Amino acid sequence: DQNFDEFNTNQVNATAIDPAFQLNAAVVGLAFPTLGTLTFDIGIVQQIISPNSGVLTGANYNQDNREFSQSLWQGYYRNVIKNTRDVISRVEGVSNRGNLLQMARLVQAYGFMVLTDDYGSIPYFDGGKGYTNQVFLPKYDAQQDIYADLIKEVREATGALSSSQRIETADVLYAGNIDKWKAFGNSLLLRLGMRLSEVDPALAQQVVSSLGSGPFILDNTDNAAIRHDNNYQNPTGNTLNSTEASNFYLTQPFVDFLKNSNDPRLSAIAVRYVGASSGPEQTPERASFSADLQIGMPMGNDNAGAVKAASDAGLASFYEFSQADRRRVAKLTAPNFLITASQTNLLLAEARHRGWISSGSAEEYFHAGIRAHMVQLGQVDAGSMIPPEEINAFLQANPLIQASALEQINDQYWIASFLNGPEAFANFRRSGFPALAPNPFPGREVPFINRLTYPNSEISVNAANVQEAISLQGPDEIGTKVWWDK
Amino acid sequence: QNEPLIASSKRSDPFEKSTKEPKALLKDRLHDLEEVFQVSIAFKDDLVQKKVVQPGFFPKASPEESLSLLLKGTGIQYEKVGAGSYVLFPKASSKASSSVNPEIPAGFLDRTNPQNVPHERMGIKREVRKPSHAEFSVTGRVMDEKGNGFPGVNILVKGTTQGTVTDISGNYSLNVPDGSSVLVFSFVGYNSQEVQVQNRSVINVSMSLDESSLEEIVVTALGVEKSAKSLGYSTARVKSDELTINRTPNLMNALQGKIAGVNISSLGTGPGGTSKIRIRGQSSISGQNNPLIVINGVPIDNTNFGTNPGNNASDNSIGVRGGGVTSDGGDGLSSINPDDVESMTVLKGAAAAALYGSRAKDGVIMITTKSKGDRQGIGVTYNINYTNEAPLDFTDYQYEYGQGEQGVRPTTPNPTSGQWSFGERFQPGMTQVLFDGVTVPYQPVRNHIRDFFRNGQNLTNSLSLASASEKGGFNLSFSDLTSRGIVPNNSYNRKTINLGFGYDLTPKLSFRGNINYSNEKNTNPPNIGQQDNTIPVALYNLANSMPLNVLDENKYDEDGNEAVYSRFRNRTNPYFTLAEQFNRIIRDRIFGNVSLKYNFTPWLNIQGRVGQDYWSRDQDYNNFPTGQASRAPAPAGFVNGVYTQESRRFREINADFLISANKSFGDIGFNASFGGNHMYRRSDVNSVQVTDFVVRGLYTVQNGRAKDPIFDLSERAVNSLYGSAEVSLKNRLFLTGTLRNDWFSTLSEANRSILYPSVATSWVFKDNTGESGWLNFGKLRVAYAEVGSDSDVAPYSDVLFYGINNNLFGNQPVGGPIGTTLPNPDLRPMRVAETEVGFELTMFQGRVSLDVAGYHKITTDQIVRAQISDASGFVTTSINSGKSQNQGVEMLLTLVPIENSNFTWEFTTNATYNKTKVLSLLTDTPGERITVGTHVFNGELRQIVGEEMAQIAGFGFRRDEQGRIIYGANGIPLRTPDLINFGSALPKWFGGFNNAFNYKGVMFSFLIDFKLGNMMLSGTNFNAIRHGLHKMTLQGREGGVIGEGVNQNGEPNTVAAPVQSYWEVVRSQALIEPAVFDGGYWKLRQITLGYDFTKHLKEKSPIRGLKLNFVANNVLLLQKWVDNIDPESFGYSSDNLVGMESTGLPTTRGLGFNLNVKF
């Protein structure tokens, strides 16, 4: 057995790679796992729903569906946190990789924020430490503690980014550009702070005020987005183009909201296959983008209810309801936006409105936010380009009114976060806007879904820690509220 | 022939003769028989003295049959030593050793020692009355050990075929070529003697008893032959007939229900699939449980290409890349031709297998292949076997409400309910619109299963050439198995060439060897269990009013893509799958070994052996055919689809040596051996997967858009030293000890070396001496052994590896850790400690024999691929913990209730009770649990401390204290807050009952087998419930389901839930309780009807033997508890998915025949 050690050495695979490539994997992993956010997050905010039951159960019926409530959890821990923890442990203390370390901390913070926003208490301090610290069954942490640490992490990491250190040009988010990463960090911190506006306004204000003048992501060129291609496809786009192509529809509240405000984004987002009596008949020849023709699917229907709703609306079938266009904004190569100029401007509008920052005017931020989203849609697909005159006309018709500012801003945030289910879901819970009616489905478990339930595997494998989380947070049900949701 | 049998005119009427004497002395009857058939029968007087036999007549045709009938129950058996010559001797003592086929005379089956093989003497020609030109004549007398005349002793002139047999008084006379000839005296059960003539004309000889040769010889670990009565542990022997007459493409499946302690499951995966064998239950909590396969003393590879989706733990099975394919690619046993098997021994316990050390944890299946013929010259055997396999449909679906959802049937073009039967109640005259406007009656379509699948066929042709001489022989065989699967595009072909040979170069130096080449071609092994491309899943859930011809005719849309027929697009139209998906596997395999043996002295020898198993396997498949409805479109300019092409190579080399000594000092015998082995295994794979194509329909790597190549390499080695020592006293008490030390390359230096001891004793408290009495033979055995295994540790599993994705993203590399399992550098081999106690009894002259074994097995330091929290970043990790216990009793009972010259009824039963328990995982806290496998749809398999192994767990109905189901405000049942256990998926009882009848040579037998006490989570029923096919979903079709139970306030539930939502809770809430069933069964497994025409053949006919059997397999399901399926019809070979049924192929009933002709 003299040569056994040599024998047991793999001749083929690497035991380490440049951690920058691993950070890229974490960034790619931030793309929202498909059916988890489609059946829940995006449906909870009443933008897209399916009338179908069984495995597609979720926000359409306001019922729990463990099959897909776990996909965000699994996707983020396995693809994001696993890699960021490893990158951090590999580059911590390595002199010339300081920027990579900070970038990994920021990406990790983004991932944890999405996780805790959706689930509440999650394994945070111990989370993702299976390899680095051999923690197999991590403890859950209270959201309050998580937020405190996230704020610290993002603040520290953003501050420590330095253009005098090695620039990580392999980075797929910003090619290592320090200014853009700083803008990402500040915008993330702004988002963290604003999330606490109801539960801890003082802390929220303190965090937001401390940001000063940024820099922030205020222009679409700085958007944090996973720019998918044919080899790295947008998961939501893939689902809406394959198995579920004919199973998800824009909702009536969303379509009507855009229609009633003459929002030019309706034509950019929606498609209706006029006269389609079945999924296979949803052909490009039938596609119509005209805002007037768009009809959203009413909330609260199962398959039979949707059939009836279609006939009530004078449609050939429910396949004729408007869809998020899978050939434009929901195409396979559509970017997955994480933090956009639109969202950041709108948060700044609210912060300014609340008086937590002093520069600029709330309306300027408000309009800049709307404009950024309208432009962003055209950047996703040329077919969704909105002419500047239509943008200007819309802005002119929608001044920010002091009395309804919070509602206006957050309604726009809702639209601007279209296809970013977790952010739309979180901001809806925080702000209470838009004023959506409860899902009227007769078999609903709750009027509104307030969080996602833990994965079955956690209940099975990590039961003691889950129980502890439940004892502090409340039952593992979709009606339970997370800490910041007041 | 020197003595042509021309005596027929002299025969008296045997019937008359035999009935005149109701109670005849055996001795007289033997003389009668000699007279009737003009043969000579040699025996020692004291063997037959005072023995009385039943009256009966001699069947007219054959002396052999008459003799065997005459001797039944006497404790005596005969051997044919030449034309018209027979000798009698006591039956081997431990007949009751758990042979699976006790009807065969013991004693010869496993006797491979050339000195004792009967056919050695078949070439002897009697010369007594032959006029001879020889110059030298020798006469003399042969005496037995007591000095009495010894009849029937064979005398052969060495190096010739000249010889004779002593007469009734032990006298002989023989002509020899010259005065320097050597005479060889031999008799079964006695030591052979060689005597030089030295010009003597009178040579008297005394024969001495060879104690060991009276025994049944069993091939034990390392190929060492031992007398059965010396064994302190249980083994099972399988006769080749058991494998060949009622054959199955994978040879082990033919033994289902036949061997005590061995649980064999055939999987519903088509011909060429894997065979799941569990010896004495499952020992590993989450890893390998496959026995080691040893052919002619050298292990061969049994890599499993079964697919095990949801297997969170490890079992070393190799799946496919890229999804879309869940077919069973077979295992190492599938390349063996049953016709080449001479005998098979199953080493069940750790003590039996201890000399195999690390690889013997789950027992050993030792196969000896044929290496010589049964006579000089070339003997030719031809065998043809044909079976027709008819698919069985156990579905009992509802046919009251047809296709549709939420109570609505399809009435417009391109409906997409396809997989749902929650439509309207069938009424005469109703129609439904399917696909693009095809209007057909809305009526039940009942025979989806039988109409889609075809009858399968297996045809095997085997030809063998064999020869034997006193110095050796060979056996060369060719075989072709052609199987037509029940899925219309599935076929399997296996061609094998096997050469076995052996030769004694000198009396001291001999060699033997075998080479087996096989070529297997498996075309389109069907996908099972999953959704995509899986014909059984789509078909079993097809809406109950969907006509198959409409589905077939409309499988394509106008672009040639799959026409969408269901909103559930993963349920690919089975006809599209059939037409568009392919999977081709070709395996070439060559294995064999050569050994050289040198006898220093008669009691000391050394053997060296080298064996290799090498295979290459080429497979290509389109994971997702172009145009499949569940797939997103390709980028402009391409068509979608995924194609994979891979080549694997595997090599295992075993080199070993063994020094053996065997010597007796008076009553005390010693037997010792010492040896060593070096094992080296290397496997590699080249695989390229491509996504999207330029030219439609051209599935090649070049035509692909995105390409993803892989090369992987794995090497491991084990060095071993081992020894064994046996002491026997008076050939009645035996004590054997073994030691083995293994050194593993896969483990760290500190954990690399492991020593395994074993000790076994056997006490024969009653030995068979041939006399009457109620107890003829009795033996007690006790054994203890420890073995271990590193088989759950993959090479390099101590390190985390990183990979770079094949495609750049934004022109930058993307990479990360490979896989989802955390490495653990500190793994130790797992260990099994097993204690075994057993006894064997033979009673009433063999009319009753019983073999019982009890075992207690503790498996510690298990290498558990445990599921861990996702939040750790990984899904599983290997931990060196876990302790489990297997306790069981296995027994084999043979009864011969009726035995007379016309009719024999033999009843054999084997039964095993096996109970497992998880003793600890990370700690021994009761209730601590790990998840080792998840069901494809919902539910999981767990190991829980304090419970039986393999608990099926999932959410159940939430109930109040009175057990009433609680419903939510919406009328839908609530689920339990936590997953609950539904019981173990492992059978507690399994076994079989065989009844064999022989009426005047017509053999008829049937086998009933059973498995009881195991739960299963039925994926087929899970789907049948959520798709509205299961009869339970008839409840609430009109007006909704008002579930019986209470609401959350404890008041009776009055809320009607919509019927579809109600039953879909199995999916949406993972509330699997309605899909959990008892998985036990009773089956009429086999029927065989056969006749041996050999005795009707004329002496001069070129055909020497002719046997014909009719066989039926899987005849009748007598009892089951699971709805809609055969409990055996599922296809995962992993124990981590045991009980996790997901629709496999329907089981089949086989009908066929086997014809064996010898020339």
- Please give the DSSP secondary-structure letter assigned to residue A72: H
End-to-end CA distance of chain A, in Å? 65
Map tokens 């590896």 to a residue: B801
Residues of B in contact with A18 (CB under 8 A): 813
Tell me the pLDDT of chain A (486 aa) as tens digits. 567 777 778 878 888 899 999 999 999 999 998 888 999 999 999 999 999 877 788 999 998 888 889 999 999 999 999 999 999 999 998 989 999 999 999 999 999 999 999 999 999 999 999 988 889 999 999 999 999 999 999 999 999 999 999 999 999 999 999 999 999 999 999 999 999 999 999 999 999 999 988 899 999 999 999 999 999 999 999 999 998 999 999 999 999 999 999 999 999 999 999 999 888 889 999 999 999 999 999 999 887 788 889 999 999 889 999 999 999 999 999 999 999 999 999 999 999 999 999 999 999 999 999 999 999 999 999 999 999 999 999 999 999 999 999 999 999 999 999 999 999 999 999 999 999 999 998 778 899 999 999 998 898 889 899 999 999 999 999 999 999 998
pLDDT, tens only, B822-868: 888 778 888 889 999 999 998 887 789 999 999 999 988 887 777 88
| B749/A4 touch (CB, cutoff 8 Å), yes or no | yes
Best mutation target, B705, B790, B814, to test chain A (most A CBs within 10 A): B814
Percent of chain B at pLDDT above 70? 89
What's the whole-number average pLDDT of chain B?
83
Whether B797 has a pLDDT exceeding 70, the answer reads yes
- How many percent of chain B have pLDDT more than 90? 40
Q: Left (φ > 0), alpha (ψ -120 to 50) or beta: where does B731 sit? A: left
B570-587 confidence digits (pLDDT tens): 999 999 999 999 999 999
Q: Does B817 touch chain A (CB under 8 A)?
A: yes
Asked whether residue B3 carries a pLDDT value surpassing 70, the answer given is no
Distance CA B753, CA B740 (A): 10
Of B632, B866, B929, the CB nearest to A238: B632
Q: Which of B1068, B1069, B1072 is the best substitution to test chain A (most A C-beta atoms within 10 A)?
A: B1068
Check CB contact under 8 Å for B1061 and A61: yes
- The most confident of A324-333, B465-474, B843-852, B947-956, by mean pLDDT: A324-333
DSSP string, B132-171: ---SEEEEEEEE-TTS-B-TT-EEEETTSSEEEE--TTSE
Residues forming a β-bridge with B651:
B614, B682
Report the residue count for chain A.
486
Q: Which of A134, A303, A332 sits opposite B406 (nearest CB)?
A: A303
Indicate the residue type of B563: A
pLDDT band at B81 (very low <50, low <70, confident <90, very high): low
Give pLDDT tens digits for B1071-1103: 899 999 999 999 998 899 999 888 788 877 888
pLDDT at B1136: 79
What average pLDDT score do residues B955-966 get?
92
* Contact between chains at A7 and B745 (C-beta distance less than 8 A): yes
Which chain B residues are closer than 8 Å to A235 by Cβ? none
The H or E element that residue B575 is part of is: helix B574-580
B567: contact with A, CB 8 A cutoff: yes
User: Which of B802, B870, B1060 is most worth mutating to test chain A (most A CB atoms within 10 A of its CB)?
Assistant: B870
Is ipTM over 0.85?
yes
Residues 6+ apart with CB under 8 A from A349: A362, A363, A364, A365, A366, A369, A400, A405, A409
Q: What is the largest CA-CA distance in chain B?
A: 113
Write out the two tokens for B750: 């500190």
B875 touches chain A (CB under 8 A): yes
- Domains by residue range for chain B, with CATH: 8-90 (3.55.50.30), 120-213 (2.60.40.1120), 251-389+457-468+479-533+581-613+642-950+985-1014+1079-1158 (2.40.170.20), 1033-1068 (no CATH)
Say whether pLDDT at B238 is over 90: no
User: Binning pLDDT at 50, 70 and 90, where does residue B730 land?
Assistant: confident
Nearest CB among A63, A245, A247 relative to B1068 is that of A63
Q: How many CA atoms lie within 13 A of A89 on its CB side?
A: 12
Considering only CB atoms, which chain B residues are within 8 Å of A273? none
Which of B230, B185, B221 is CA-nearest to residue B203? Answer: B185
Residue B109 pLDDT greater than 70, yes or no = no
Give per-residue pLDDT as tens, B664-705.
888 898 989 999 999 999 989 999 999 999 999 999 999 999
Radius of gyration of chain B, Cα coordinates, nearest whole angstrom: 33
Cβ-based neighbours of B341, under 8 Å, separated by 6 or more:
B240, B243, B244, B251, B367, B368, B369, B370
Task: Collect all residues of chain A within an 8 Å Cβ-Cβ radius of residue B938.
Answer: 67
Structure tokens at B834: 């097993």
| B982-1004: average pLDDT | 91
Instruction: Please report residues of B whose CB lies closer than 8 A to that of A89.
Output: none
Model pLDDT, residue B13: 37
pLDDT confidence tier of residue B881, bands split at 50, 70 and 90:
confident
Query: By CA distance, what is B807's nearest residue in A?
Result: A231
Q: At what angle do helices A362-380 and A341-354 cross, to 10 degrees?
A: 170
Q: Which domains, ranges and CATH numbers included, belong to chain A?
A: 19-235+332-431 (1.25.40.390), 246-324 (no CATH)
Angle at the Cα of B414 (from B632 to A60), degrees rounded to 5? 65
H/E element, B960: none
Cα B461 from Cα B481, distance rounded (Å): 7
pLDDT at B57: 58
pLDDT band with cut points at 50, 70 and 90 for residue B188? low
Instruction: Please give the average per-residue pLDDT across B278-293, as a whole number.
Output: 78
Residue A394: its pLDDT value, please? 97
- Which residues in B lie closer than 8 A to residue A52 (C-beta atoms)? 567
User: Taking CA atoms, what residue in B is nearest to A326?
Assistant: B632
- A8/B977 touch (CB, cutoff 8 Å), yes or no: no
Q: What are phi and psi of B143, to 5 degrees?
A: -115, 150
The answer to whether the CB atoms of A65 and B1069 lie below 8 A apart is: yes
In tens, the pLDDT along B533-580 reads 899 999 999 999 999 999 999 999 989 999 999 988 999 999 999 999
Q: Which of residues 701-740 of B touch A (CB under 8 A)?
A: 705-706, 711-713, 715-717, 719
Q: What is the pLDDT of residue B561?
A: 94
Residue with tokens 């055209």: A378
